[in-house]
Amino acid sequence: MKLTNRTVLRRALVGGIGAAALLSTNLPSHAAPLTAAETTELGTEAYIYGYPLVTMEYTRRVMTNVAKVEGSRAPMGQLGAMRKYPDPTFLDVTAPNADTLYSFGFFDVSKEPFVLSLPEAKDRYYLFPMLSGWTDVFQDPGKRTTGTGPQKYVVTGPGWAGTLPEGVKEYKSPTGIVWILGRIYCTATPEDYAAVHKMQDEISVVPLSAYGKPYTPPAHEVDPSIDMKTAVREQVNALNAETYFSLLAKLMKDNPPASADAPMVAKLTKLGITPGEAFDAGKLGADGAKALAEVPKLGVEKIMGWFKGGIAAGDGKLENGWLFSIKTGLYGTNYIQRAFVTAIGLGANRPQDAIYPTSEADAEGKPYSGANKYVMHFDKGLLPPAQGFWSLTMYNGGYFFVANPLNRYSISARQDLKANADGSVDLYLQNESPGADKESNWLPAPKDKFILMLRLYWPSEKNPSIIDGTWKVPAVKVVE
């Protein structure tokens, strides 16, 4: 078996060597007990570091806790599929889209690899990102990266070694947990729905041992103890320190830290957090345990407070009232950015696949209101530069779709937008119709607060580009 740096680190941590021996330069053998202040500081760092892994686990529990595939959920080890776009009654997930249909599932590759088979897509835009337990997109097959012909991949877990079937490419997952979150472009016409449904039906994920054989997924029992009503983020944020760090230690056994995480692993060890071993806050002493109890609150505050800090650090951008990031999907040791994206946009793609500028206020910084009329103006030739597609979606104040007479929740080039005489394009964002001659360019708004999200799938990397800043999202302006 080939041993990678990650495998060596994991074995050292869960075996008899221990992090202290592996990282002796970071942790003296006779280190003094931590003070309460040191416990708070290290604990907060550890909380932020582990937030993605703990959140992924809670997401996995909720999304797989069904007896069979239904709606936006599928049992562990099975692939589910959304068959139509949500409407205003859909409240399961915030910021839904009306551009791509999802094929999704959670898989445990720590015990056995899984084989993903993708059919001929006939040049249709799609992507099938694979996320690790730490939320990094470790592979992203799709039109941009691998084309649209038939493809087969075997997703293997940490340290796996074995024989691969002929014609199947190996994708190594850095963790046991793998979340496949495929997206397929669909125009929502009856004909296109049928075409995408056919493609979804031809996609399969099966254990390696069942590849090429008839396969029936094992029965899945629903766990009644899992909270299926409270939002995952609320469940995670409500965990006390003992429960949170105990779960983190348990999860890190099959979802090992990256080799670049060694300094952070040393800090975890100082707190008594070792992959695969029980965590006992009592070993920190009365003062240490009391200090650690305050960590979840501090950790959440720091994660959610990264909004402004991220912009200042260059991890986010705020331009013309639009907030977005080009540092998603791959985070390295930028743990606060990773935790922040987990909290507000779990499942984010790499920026080369998709960027999502979001705006809650107009060009003057005033919150959007359906009591006003707005225009978003694009100069000639400067519609959003995307090689996949782009769209602008309207949400109410809760990030859900808005009922309207056109049943239109997003607007894009597929609306056959009308250009002005000079070749520029205006989008009308308002509650009432701008007139029959302008309805092709109308995105209906609610009567009160609303939020806008622009999606650029496969954004252009050549000038003009949102990635290098040579293209900027136009400001939304109030008109009389």
- 442-476 per-position pLDDT tens digit: 999 999 999 999 999 999 999 999 999 999 999 99
State residue 297's pLDDT score.
Answer: 98
Rounded Cα distance between 203 and 79, Å, is 9
Assigned CATH topology for domain 309-479: Jelly Rolls (2.60.120)
- Write the Ramachandran bin of 123: left for phi over 0, alpha for psi from -120 to 50, otherwise beta: left
> In terms of pLDDT, which residue wins out, 269 or 94?
269
Tell me what the pLDDT averaged over the chain comes to. Answer: 91
State residue 19's pLDDT score.
Answer: 31
- 140-151 per-position pLDDT tens digit: 999 999 999 999
Q: Is pLDDT of 407 > 60?
A: yes
Q: Is pLDDT of 44 > 60?
A: yes
Q: State percent of the chain over pLDDT 70.
A: 93
State residue 313's pLDDT score.
Answer: 84
State residue 311's pLDDT score.
Answer: 84
DSSP 139-192: E--BHHHH-SS-EEEEEE-TT---PPPTT-EEEE-SSSEEEEEEEEE---SHHH
Q: Is pLDDT of 2 > 50?
A: no
Q: Give the pairing of strands 151-156 and 169-172.
A: parallel
Nearest alpha carbon to residue 169 among 203, 206, 207, 141? 141
Q: Is pLDDT of 33 > 90?
A: no
State residue 91's pLDDT score.
Answer: 78
Token reading at 472: 């900027």
Rounded Cα distance between 276 and 20, Å, is 15
Nearest alpha carbon to residue 472 among 410, 368, 383, 380? 383
Q: Is pLDDT of 18 > 90?
A: no
Q: Is pLDDT of 417 > 50?
A: yes
* Domain residue extents for the chain: 5-57+230-304, 66-210, 309-479
Angle at 60 between CA 56 and CA 61, to 5 degrees: 120
The mean pLDDT of 290-319, rounded to a whole number, is 92
Q: Is pLDDT of 193 > 50?
A: yes
Q: Assign domain 66-210 one CATH number from 2.40.50.140, 2.60.40.1610, 2.40.37.10, 3.40.1530.20.
A: 2.60.40.1610
State residue 31's pLDDT score.
Answer: 52
Residue type, 446: P
- 204-235 per-position pLDDT tens digit: 999 999 999 999 999 999 999 999 999 899 99
Residue type, 162: G
CATH 1.50.10: does it fit domain 5-57+230-304?
no
- Write the Ramachandran bin of 122: left for phi over 0, alpha for psi from -120 to 50, otherwise beta: left
- 87-103 per-position pLDDT tens digit: 998 877 778 899 999 99
Q: How far is CA 288 from CA 157, 177, 302, in A?
A: 36, 32, 20
The mean pLDDT of 290-318, rounded to a whole number, is 92
Angle subtended by helix axes 285-293 and 241-251, to nearest 10 = 90
